[in-house]
């Protein structure tokens, strides 16, 4: 029984507990690492051909425009076949209420039949937002398992919480 993590996470300037900080490692990236340690999963990072602005405010504008346009930005590489996996973990930030459009670019290309999807959303107050709805729509055929929301600023120290959640998710 193999597990896979698909995540998107943005390094650089971000809004953390009310101030702008530059992150060397993204919050969802921390989470993906903790899941990997807990359930021994393969890992796939979603990354866009066109980078988002390093500047936080500029990035929020780019993300808003993509959301409005229902954009599906091009990725550097694509995962094509997930047939060998049973559990798929998805991790990414809440951007204007949903995952960054790039995650949907990838998810919509996959066949989730006979897979269970568990997902984590990092955020600065909006929690899971509208992500649960979009998981149903974009992970074609999936059984939806459990969801976890982690406040971005707490992500680096969320190891035990995330590990417990991930282990329970695959039980
Ligand atoms: C473009 C953009 C839009 C965001 N929109 C929201 C939002 O609507 N609600 C919220 O709680 N946090 C929002 N955030 C904050 C992120 O969800 C939060 O900082 C998260 O921990 C980032 O994870 P990452 O480091 O893995 O990218 C936004 C951040 C960015 C860069």
3-state secondary structure 46-74: CCECCCCCCCHHHHHHHHHHHHHCCCCCC
Mean pLDDT of 131-149: 97
Interhelix angle 27-39/159-169, nearest 10 degrees: 50
Give distance in angstroms: CA of 30 to centre of ligand 1: 14
* CATH no. of 2-169: 3.40.50.360
Structure token pair of residue 156 = 């680096």
**Gap between the Cα atoms of 4 and 82, Å rounded:** 8
Is 161 exposed, middle or buried (CB count within 10 Å of its CB: 0-12, 13-18, 19+)? Answer: middle
Q: Which of 9, 10, 14 to mutate to test the pocket of ligand 1 (most atoms within 8 A of CB)?
A: 14
pLDDT in tens, 89-99: 999 999 999 99
What mean pLDDT, rounded, does the chain reach? 96
Q: Say which residue, 24 or 41, is predicted with more confidence.
A: 41
Atom 18 in ligand 1: residue holding the nearest Cα: 123
Beta bridge partners of 5: 43, 89
pLDDT at position 103 over 80: yes
For residue 23, the ligand 1 atom closest to its alpha carbon is: 25
For residue 60, the ligand 1 atom closest to its alpha carbon is: 1
pLDDT in tens, 38-52: 999 999 999 999 999
Which residues form ligand 1's pocket by a CB distance below 6 Å?
Answer: 9-10, 14-15, 23, 26-29, 59-60, 63, 93-97, 122-126, 152
Helix (H, G, I), strand (E, B) or coil at 26: coil
pLDDT at position 22 over 80: yes
Give distance in angstroms: CA of 107 to centre of ligand 1: 19
Q: What is the pLDDT of residue 98?
A: 98
**Gap between the Cα atoms of 92 and 152, Å rounded:** 10
Q: What is the pLDDT of residue 85?
A: 97
Spell out the domain ranges in the chain: 2-169
pLDDT in tens, 50-72: 999 988 999 999 999 999 999 99
Q: What is the pLDDT of residue 13?
A: 87
Contact 128, 100 (CB under 8 A): no
pLDDT at position 157 over 90: yes
Give distance in angstroms: CA of 125 to centre of ligand 1: 9
pLDDT at position 1 over 80: no
Beta bridge partners of 45: 7
């Amino acid at each position: 029984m193999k597990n896979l993590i698909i995540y998107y996470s943005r390094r650089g300037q971000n809004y953390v507990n009310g101030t702008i900080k530059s992150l060397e490692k993204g919050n969802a990236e921390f989470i993906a690492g903790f899941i990997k340690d807990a359930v021994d999963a393969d890992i796939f990072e979603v990354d866009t051909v066109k980078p988002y602005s390093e500047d936080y405010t500029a990035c929020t504008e780019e993300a808003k425009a993509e959301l409005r346009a229902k954009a599906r930005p091009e990725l550097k590489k694509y995962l094509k076949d997930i047939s060998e996996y049973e559990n798929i973990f998805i991790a990414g930030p809440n951007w204007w209420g949903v995952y960054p459009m790039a995650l949907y670019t990838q998810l919509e290309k996959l066949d989730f039949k006979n897979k269970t999807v568990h997902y984590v959303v990092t955020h600065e107050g909006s929690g899971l937002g509208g992500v649960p709805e979009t998981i149903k729509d974009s992970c074609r055929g999936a059984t939806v398992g459990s969801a976890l929301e982690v406040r971005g600023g707490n992500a680096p120290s969320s190891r035990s919480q995330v590990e417990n959640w991930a282990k329970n998710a695959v039980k």
